């Protein structure tokens, strides 16, 4: 009897230990680590100087003086410098009739140059990649862009590939979410994500002001980054994903149509940005933060916010309302050290900064990224992160919030924890000492003042 009891007890303990081990192993493999990232830096012959931009604008014979004035105002207020890049098809005067090869070459140069560096920096062979994700919203050839990469780097036959199109500027967190969900079902997995945008086939040559704005803001750029859930690689990783929140308000017609690709009255395709976009952005932003706050803020800050809100409801006097208006804002800086904001434009950065109660120091990475690189769509977050790293701001245990907006309309965010002190210059290496510059004044106003006075 004693022997039977001993055997039963031993079997029970073994079973419990096995369950605990499996649960521990499952939890360890549910992590998502950022091993490294490489931002794309095109060649200098693709820089868009003031003179070159004026030549490109002048080639559009449909534009009138009022159109020139509108473009001048948009460019001057954009926060973009003369150091940004464009595709060769536009620089060489083929913006109205880009070939398929123009579009492919533009994307290929970004993908292959960043991937070559990424594999070199991480020491990971392409054949070891288990998951490949490519997000380019406005160009989807066949075979797919993922197939081009698989062919170029001779990847394994069982590599899982995903091509994300139409996701817009918020595609990076979407790709991360996709990979993170895969990690929950696969142990020790390596994933590579390539994020970029194709400008060549999407340049607008008409006169609709809502579509001309895109030409002023969007620039060539991209990034490749590597993720893993392998706990043995944690010591090599830069950051660890803590949480990710996605908000999609596309059920609302105004939100859905505020940023959309369509034809103008003359049949020319462009990307329409409507006057209802700010309203949609605010709503999506609020939806995202409402779910994000409990995940990133300390209990004390959440309790303080709840008390302020309760007081505001109980005491409706003018004094109480005024106090609530100034004090009820959530202090996100109590749970976040650095903010990677989407570089949708100077006004977007400033508006998000005000909503989050950020200081000039906090929005500096986004403003400088917009100045140096322009709006590079979904990859812009990585240039902002690169600025922080080049400035040696990122230290172990710091928490970094990425926040992006995209057509649909979407607002996506993800919180990372820095695992070690970071100081790589990356794409900013040759210019980081010049930032922030003494002035962000755009040279267009000085060189083309006659347009304003015409």
* 169 assigned to active site: yes
Q: Are 241 and 46 in contact (CB under 8 A)?
A: no
Long-range Cβ pairs for the range 321-330 (8 Å, 24+): 329/357, 330/289, 330/293, 330/297, 330/301, 330/305
Candidates 32, 53, 110, 169; catalytic one:
169
* 39 assigned to active site: no
- 275: closest CA among 289, 258, 294, 251? 258
Q: Are 145 and 136 in contact (CB under 8 A)?
A: yes
Candidates 216, 342, 414, 442; catalytic one:
342
Report in angstroms the alpha-carbon separations of 153 from 128, 277, 365: 11, 41, 34
Q: End-to-end CA distance of the chain, in Å? A: 105
Candidates 135, 202, 375, 412; catalytic one:
375
Cis ω before 409 (30° cut-off from 0): yes
- 271: closest CA among 173, 144, 166? 166
Q: Are 417 and 398 in contact (CB under 8 A)?
A: yes
Q: Are 114 and 38 in contact (CB under 8 A)?
A: yes
Candidates 110, 229, 258, 371; catalytic one:
371
Candidates 258, 338, 340, 442; catalytic one:
338
* 375 assigned to active site: yes
Q: Are 79 and 348 in contact (CB under 8 A)?
A: no
In angstroms, rounded to a whole number, what is the distance separating the alpha carbons of residues 20 and 356? Answer: 41
Instruction: Please count the other Cβ atoms lying within 10 Å of the Cβ belonging to residue 364.
Output: 21
In angstroms, rounded to a whole number, what is the distance separating the alpha carbons of residues 136 and 115? Answer: 15
Indicate which residues carry an active-site annotation.
Answer: 169, 248, 338, 342, 371, 375
């Amino acid at each position: 009897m004693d022997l039977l009891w001993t055997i039963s007890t031993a079997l029970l303990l073994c079973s419990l230990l096995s369950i605990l081990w499996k649960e521990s192993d499952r939890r360890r493999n549910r992590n998502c680590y950022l091993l490294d990232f490489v931002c794309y830096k095109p060649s200098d012959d693709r820089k868009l100087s003031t003179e070159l931009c004026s030549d490109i604008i002048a080639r559009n014979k449909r534009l009138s003086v009022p159109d020139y004035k509108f473009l001048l105002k948009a460019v001057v207020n954009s926060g973009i410098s003369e150091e940004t890049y464009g595709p060769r098809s536009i620089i060489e005067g083929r913006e109205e009739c880009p070939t398929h090869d123009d579009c492919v070459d533009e994307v290929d140069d970004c993908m292959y140059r960043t991937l070559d560096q990424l594999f070199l920096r991480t020491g990971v062979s392409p054949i070891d990649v288990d998951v490949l994700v490519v997000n380019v919203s406005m160009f989807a050839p066949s075979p797919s862009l993922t197939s081009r990469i698989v062919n170029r780097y001779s990847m394994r036959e069982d590599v899982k590939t995903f091509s994300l199109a139409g996701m817009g500027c918020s595609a990076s967190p979407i790709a991360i979410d996709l990979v993170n969900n895969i990690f929950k079902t696969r142990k020790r997995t390596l994933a590579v994500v390539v994020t970029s945008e194709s400008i060549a086939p999407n340049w607008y040559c008409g006169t609709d002001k809502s579509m001309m704005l895109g030409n002023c803001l969007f620039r060539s750029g991209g990034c490749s980054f590597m993720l893993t859930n392998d706990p043995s690689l944690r010591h090599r990783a830069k950051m660890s994903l803590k949480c990710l929140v996605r908000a999609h308000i596309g059920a609302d017609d105004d939100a859905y149509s505020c940023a959309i690709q369509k034809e103008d009255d003359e049949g020319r395709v462009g990307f329409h940005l409507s006057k209802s976009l700010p309203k949609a952005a605010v709503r999506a932003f609020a939806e995202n933060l409402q779910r994000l706050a409990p995940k990133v803020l300390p209990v004390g800050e959440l309790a303080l916010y709840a008390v302020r809100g309760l007081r505001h409801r109980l005491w409706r006097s003018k004094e109480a309302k005024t106090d609530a208006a100034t004090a009820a804002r959530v202090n996100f800086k109590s749970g976040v050290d650095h903010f990677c904001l989407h570089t949708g434009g100077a006004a977007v950065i400033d508006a998000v900064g005000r909503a989050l109660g950020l200081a000039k120091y906090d929005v500096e990475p986004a403003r400088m990224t917009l100045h140096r690189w322009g709006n590079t769509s979904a990859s812009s977050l990585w240039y902002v992160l690169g600025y922080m790293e080049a400035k040696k701001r990122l230290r172990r245990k710091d928490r970094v919030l990425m926040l992006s907006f995209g057509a649909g309309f979407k607002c996506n965010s993800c919180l990372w924890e820095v695992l070690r002190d970071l100081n790589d210059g990356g794409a900013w290496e040759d210019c980081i000492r010049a930032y922030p510059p003494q002035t962000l004044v755009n040279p267009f106003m000085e060189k083309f003042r006659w347009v304003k006075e015409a």
